[in-house]
Chains A and B, each alone.
Chain A
Amino acid sequence: MAHLSLENRERATRLISLYPKDRSALIPLCHLAQSQDGYLTQEAIQDIADLVGVTPAEVYGTATFYDMLHTEPVGRYVVAICTNIACLLNGAFELLEHAQKRLGVYVGQTTNDGMFTIEEAECLAACDTAPCVQVNHRFFGPLAGESFDALVDNLESGRLDDVVPPHGVLNRVERSVGLTSSAKREAAQ
């Protein structure tokens, strides 16, 4: 019984067709499954395994290596606060402490209403806006106490819905061209 929606299974098939070897689509398919469910469910892992021709354990073992792939549910908004060197030098730990107080949860935890998960991030490559924060991988910064609170208010009220899609939605632009890899075309000919 397939877990991915019909539309997502079609997208998955198109993604697989881009690569000379099916397994190369494993991580893109994990992102796709996360965009459907918010995290990687056991059922989605089984689907991905079937689609790329490996065991569910191989999908799970690969996915758990990567910070962005979640095998447990997370909040609607994953708030990732960088505390690496450039952010540290500009007050990142103070911001992290403030964020934990404001949201009432520690790093790695999700608020009771399921809205927010806090993560402590490694460098997000936005050091000119330190301390920087990502919400569902969309950038904000530099932030301090008040501007962080305003961000949370805007997220809660839905004012940022256009800017910040639900967790797991990574790429809102679909590939619309050249949908079969040249290697596969040659093999098919």
Chain B
Amino acid sequence: MITNAAPIVTRRMGYEDSYTLSRYLETGGYDGLKRALTMSREEVADQVNRASLLGRGGAGFPAGRKWSMLRAAPTSYLVVNGDESEPATFKDHLLIERDPHQIIEGALICAYAIGAAQIFIFCRGEFALGLERLQQACNEAYRIGAIGREIFGSSFSIDLVIHPGAGAYICGEETALLESLEGKRGFPRIKPPFFPAVQGLYGAPTVVNNIETMSNLPWIVLNGGDAFSSLGEGSSAGTRLFALSGRVNRPGWFELEMSKTTFRDLIFDPALGAGVPDGRSLKAFIPGGVSAPWFGPNELDLGLDQDAVGKAGSMLGSGSVVVMDESTCVVRAAWRITRFFHRESCGQCTPCREGGGWLEQILRRIEEGEGREADLDLLMDVCDNIAPGLTWPPQQTTICVLGPSIPSSIASSIRMFRDEYLAHVRERHCPMGGHR
């Protein structure tokens, strides 16, 4: 079902000039920040807690709880994670290019609530236009008194820096992002401490929140946390921006009320994905970025709900859904995803650095018709070394979750399409049309 819930983070997307200051101000821009500044810090944080806003980056950690974990210290920081790189995810890219002021306003509200000393918006380096729009918006926000000293006449002062990344998937991992922001290689930090709220940027307590998470804050402050949590269901509150791609007639982004809409709605509804092209049937889909195990047609009626997807053995993750149709070679798809993880492994941990490479080579040889039947067990064995037991959520033998994400595609596709893997081996070529 598609509900009539009004869009929150994409409400300006109908305007060609949605990214400009004049359009932003005409459509209620910076009213949320002004309201927040009339409230106490605790009241702002309380509204976000009441909203039950789950982080929109991928892990789905409650934003309010993240803030409350901040260790008391003379200096703390807010870092906004705009290093969107999870394959098939393109929602933050949209928000950065089309509504940069909304991100800045949300970040200012968050910084006020947590008492941060400085804000850094870490924007993926490849988003050249996005970086320009963010910097432009930052310059404008200073000029109208929304950033800087004594913001809008209050006692709240803060600086905000737009920081460009330089191309590395791993920097989406929050501790790797902080290393990168300190001018180093993007190596995830050894845990514990588990949370940057304890030890973050320059060792100071730091909140790291996603772009979409920040973009929700102006609305939550203006409309109240209860209005937000009345949307969606249970722990999956509010609306969420979903990115749909692959073999669908209408790939694109859709802001939908959580839980209420199903994957079937998202993929097949004429107003959303409008189904699979050329009259083909759906073979499989990835429910939340390529770190998530795949689903098949049996899971289409699951709601876009963090808990429901988790219980079914995958994750809503970054909210990006990829559709594969009957013409898709699953070995080739799993191989390409595995090659991505292998390339993007930072190299610190052996299971990820070596395992990813071996898995990629085995998948490639199966796809090229050089595989053996024993390769299927070998794949599962290597996967088991990276994520022991192949449970969901996965066990971890590595510093960060990049490694344990590698088995997701492989284990789930072998489980669903064992015969197709075996056909590659027995027929000594790809039965799906001999790609590559």
Contacts and interface: CB of A to CB of B under 8 A. Distances in A.
Given A21-B182, A23-B182, A65-B185, A88 B127 contact: no
B23 to A, nearest CB: 18
Contacts of A30: 166
A178 B163 CA distance: 14
Contacts of B86: 123
Contact of A170 (B131, B147, B160, B246): B131
A21 B159 contact: no
Contact of A177 (B148, B244, B336): B148
Interface string A159-175: 00000000000111111
Contact of B84 (A65, A125, A128, A134): A125
Majority secondary structure of chain A interface residues (helix, strand, loop or mixed): loop
A175 to B, nearest CB: 6
Contact of B87 (A19, A31, A86, A176): A86
B224 to A, nearest CB: 31
Interface stretch (A66-74, A106-114, A149-157): A66-74
B118 A182 contact: yes
B167 A130 contact: no
A46 interface: no
B247 A89 contact: yes
B36 interface: no
Contacts of A93: 435-436
A25 B128 CA distance: 18
Contacts of B143: 177
Nearest to A67: B167
Contacts of A52: 183
B159 A182 contact: yes
A84 interface: yes
Nearest to A175: B135
Contact of A84 (B87, B92, B162): B87
Nearest to B162: A175
A172 to B, nearest CB: 6
Contacts of B245: 86, 89, 127-128, 130
Interface in A40-80: 52, 54, 61-63, 65-69
A83 B142 CA distance: 40
Given A20-B118, A170-B131, A126 B93 contact: yes
Given A86-B246, A124-B126, A182-B118, A172 B132 contact: yes
B142 A178 contact: yes
A118 interface: no
10 contacts: A25-B183, A52-B183, A62-B184, A66-B125, A67-B167, A84-B290, A122-B340, A126-B90, A127-B251, A138-B128
Given A31-B125, A93-B435, 18 more contacts: A23-B184, A26-B183, A65-B186, A66-B168, A68-B165, A84-B337, A89-B322, A123-B85, A123-B89, A125-B85, A125-B124, A128-B251, A130-B245, A170-B125, A173-B135, A174-B135, A177-B148, A182-B118
Interface of B: 75, 84-90, 92-93, 117-118, 124-129, 131-132, 135-136, 138-139, 142-143, 147-148, 157-169, 180-186, 202, 243-247, 251-253, 286, 290, 320, 322-324, 328, 332-333, 336-337, 340, 343-344, 346, 435-436
Interface of A: 18-21, 23-28, 30-31, 52, 54, 61-63, 65-69, 83-86, 88-90, 93, 122-128, 130, 134, 136-139, 170-178, 181-183
